[in-house]
Amino acid sequence: MEAWEGRLVRYASRYVNAEVARELVQEAFLRLWKAERSTVEGHEKEWLFRVCRNLAIDYLRRQKNLVWKEEEGVLIPQIEENLAEHEAESPLQKATRELPPEQREVVRLKFQESLSYKEIASITGHSVSHVGVLIFRATEKLRKILENAR
């Protein structure tokens, strides 16, 4: 639990505020404890990230006052942009916010959480090859954004 709690809270905080993220992570650990051992053994990390992601999305869907926006056909909560306004951001963080939501998520899982393509695919529901394509396109776009910012 100690090894993953901080990383899961950071990940869930991209969807919801820190207090709610901590509650969602606690719920994910409770679900892990109650889960059939054979369904999670050997891939606990991916399972926890996927459950945190799903809990956060479910929480956001229940919020009536949350502002949603559509980006490339995908509804995403406005919370991440609101959080970004209050944080000191590096040029890379700013550039990452310009990525489409799918690319932004896989980039964060790959480079912030150091997850493999297979683990990311398990968390997001994409195929491993699609994760690779998303990361490739995201890094190309980030490179162009950062070059233009110079």
Give the Cα separation of 148 and 135 in Å (integer): 20
Is the domain covering 88-150 a CATH 1.10.10.10 domain?
yes
Nearest-angstrom CA–CA distance, 123 and 17: 21
Nearest CA among 22, 3, 4 for reference residue 12: 22
54 pLDDT more than 70: yes
Domain extent listing, the chain: 1-78, 88-150
Exposure of 1 by Cβ count < 10 A (0-12 exposed, 13-18 middle, 19+ buried)? exposed
Distance CA 37, CA 34 (A): 8
- Distance between CA atoms of residues 106 and 138, nearest Å: 9
| 129 CB-near residues (< 8 Å, 6+ apart) | none
Amino acid 82: pLDDT: 45
The single-letter code of the amino acid at 84 is: A
Q: How is residue 58 written in tokens?
A: 């479910």
How far apart, in Å, are the Cα atoms of 82 and each of 11, 45, 150? 16, 28, 25
- Is the pLDDT at 65 greater than 60? The verdict is no
pLDDT for 143 equals 93
What mean pLDDT value characterizes the chain?
Answer: 82
Average pLDDT over residues 124-140: 94
Helix (H) or strand (E) holding 70: strand 68-71
Class assignment of domain 1-78?
A: mainly alpha
Tell me the β-bridge partners of 75: 70
Q: What share of the chain in percent tops pLDDT 70?
A: 82
